[in-house]
Amino acid sequence: MAIREILTVPDPRLKEVSRPVVGPVTDEHRALMDDMLETMYDAPGIGLAAIQIGVPLRIIVMDLSREEDAREPRYFVNPEILETVEEKKPYEEGCLSVPDIFDEVERSARCRLRYLDYNGNAVEEWAEDLYAVCIQHEMDHLEGTLFIDHLSRLKRQRAIDKVKKAKLRAIREDAN
């Protein structure tokens, strides 16, 4: 397992549409998911899409447990949303690719999912609460959409500028 670099805005790769995994889930995919999970825990975050480490495949990892000694990793290969309810819920979201920016996004309160798990088994289930928020946020990444794309143009631009500035500051501090 290895910790990979997480892409941040305005990296153009974050706007790419990820392609499906074709054929069975292989050891290579599992190695990628292991790296993604380690990278996510290290950040730390609760969800990560493969494109966030520069791999344009429809793969997501997640852990909503928030407890280091009781980890509950979840893996999603080729996830699809089959159904959503009309009820929307706001949630203050953040994203490892838009560090230190948080803002409210409204999404469906529940959705029914289909995906392949770590071992390639097909799963169908309903997601609600934080799980529903997180899977919809992560599946947006697969379409090249970030949570700031749900905000006003002004807020989005401000967020990107802030991340860029913070990055420049970090580079300068490293050089000193």
Active-site residue list: 138
Burial 21-39 (b: 16+ CB within 10 A, else e): beeebeeebeebbbbbbbb
Closer CB to Ni ion, 102 or 126, in the complex: 102
Torsion of CA 140, 56, 66, 113, to 10 degrees: 50
- 116 class by beta-carbon count within 10 Å (0-12 exposed, 13-18 middle, 19+ buried): buried
User: For residue 111, which of 91, 131, 93 has the smallest C-alpha distance?
Assistant: 131
Q: Which residue's CB atom is positioned nearest to Ni ion? A: 95
Closer CB to Ni ion, 32 or 95, in the complex: 95
To Ni ion, the closest distance from the beta carbon of 24 in angstroms equals: 27
What residues make contact with Ni ion under the rule CB under 5 A? Answer: 95
To Ni ion, the closest distance from the beta carbon of 27 in angstroms equals: 26
To Ni ion, the closest distance from the beta carbon of 36 in angstroms equals: 12
Closer CB to Ni ion, 95 or 151, in the complex: 95
